[in-house]
Amino acid sequence: MSLDMKLQILQDRQNLSQLKEDQKRREREKINEMLNMKEIHRDSKLCPSSDMAISRTEGCNKMKCGNCEQYFCYRCNKAIDASDPYGHFRDGSCELFPREMVDSWEERINHRQAVGQLQAELFPQHGLACPSCRQYNPKIGNNNHLFCWACQRHYCYLCKAIVRRGTKHYGPKGCKQHSEG
């Protein structure tokens, strides 16, 4: 009997008045447990080795079961050889990253790139290449704290150092956070 059929029978029994409250409570708990299992199986794949339900919230299709350490493809659910876990994706039958995920990532990156390029065009006379990736970033106004749109690093316009914490870099013993030019 399928999970859906068992669930329907238990839900129908809840309406019967001859069931004792204790029995109704136990069956309600069973219904909730079955609904939870139904939801888990809707959003997960079973490991081909251990049958453990595994969900992917993001990332690539190469999965590793935490229960048995088996690699498998989330898309086709086939076991993958641990000695060459990316070999499965080389032949082209399965893609390492889902297309929607790649498109979403490119959209976010392209948006940041467009904003960065627009700022560079608007403020060409004041700017500095990022010390990490060499991408040009404009200095906007008097703020000496620059943010690289390409590699997401923060750095100082005055000394060109990567800034991890602005409160430690700028101040009486460090660079001025705001200055002309």
Answer yes or no: is 181 within a domain: no
The predicted pLDDT at position 159 comes to 94
pLDDT at 59: 85
Residue 51 lies inside a defined structural domain of this protein:
no
The count of structural domains within the chain is 3
pLDDT tens by residue, the chain, 181 residues: 777 887 777 777 777 767 788 888 888 898 888 888 888 777 789 999 999 999 887 888 999 999 999 999 999 999 999 999 899 998 888 999 888 888 887 777 777 667 767 766 766 677 888 999 998 888 878 889 999 988 999 999 999 999 988 778 998 888 999 988 6
Domain co-membership, 164 together with 106: yes
What pLDDT score was predicted for residue 116?
66
The whole-angstrom separation of Cα 20 and Cα 22 is: 5
So what's the pLDDT on residue 95? Answer: 92
138 occurs within a structural domain: yes
Angstrom distance (rounded) from CA 86 to CA 91? 10
145 and 88 belong to one structural domain: no
The amino acid sitting at 76 is C
pTM for this predicted structure: 0.46
Q: Are residues 110 and 156 in the same domain?
A: yes
Looking at the structure, do residues 18 and 33 belong to the same domain, yes or no?
yes
Domain span at residue 66?
56-97
pLDDT, residue 74, reads 93
Query: 46 near 53, Cβ under 8 Å?
Result: yes
